């Protein structure tokens, strides 16, 4: 009797976890929800959106995942973790940009991240002062 009870509990547990995984996988990636999460900056929402993007079948998921990882880096308390996630995200977003250079949304995401990133991460943004200085040779 005790063994049957354990098997029933195990079966119910496996059934519940299987349903939870399929419900997450069945959710579709929506850009509106993505931008809402990017704007909110809630760490739990970012993590769930990252899982949703990873589970999606979208061919553009690398760029979105990279942007989310960089956004997540800004919300972490430990500097080493911040740098780790920012680098991972930057690599994913830059790889997606190299694969699809005409995707203006990737360029927008990179610009939005670069404008709010600290100088220490060196995102490769241009020096705005150099654009206003005159060439000394003229």
CA dihedral 82, 83, 87, 89 (to 10 degrees): 10
Higher pLDDT among residues 52 and 25, named by residue:
52
pLDDT in tens, 84-112: 999 999 999 999 999 999 999 999 999 98
pLDDT in tens, 26-83: 467 788 999 999 998 899 999 999 999 999 888 888 999 999 999 999 889 988 999 9
Give residue 57's pLDDT.
84
């Amino acid at each position: 009797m005790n063994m049957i009870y354990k098997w029933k509990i195990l079966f119910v547990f496996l059934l519940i976890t299987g349903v939870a995984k399929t419900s997450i996988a069945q959710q579709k990636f929506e850009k509106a929800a993505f931008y809402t999460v990017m704007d909110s900056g809630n760490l739990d929402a970012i993590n769930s959106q990252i899982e949703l993007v990873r589970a999606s079948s979208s061919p553009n998921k690398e760029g979105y995942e990279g942007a989310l990882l960089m956004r997540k880096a800004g919300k972490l308390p430990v500097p080493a973790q911040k740098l780790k996630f920012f680098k991972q995200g930057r690599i994913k977003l830059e790889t997606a940009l190299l694969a699809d250079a005409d995707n203006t949304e990737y360029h927008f995401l990179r610009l939005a991240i670069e404008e709010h990133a600290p100088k220490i991460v060196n995102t490769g943004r241009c020096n705005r002062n150099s654009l206003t200085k005159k060439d000394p040779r003229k």
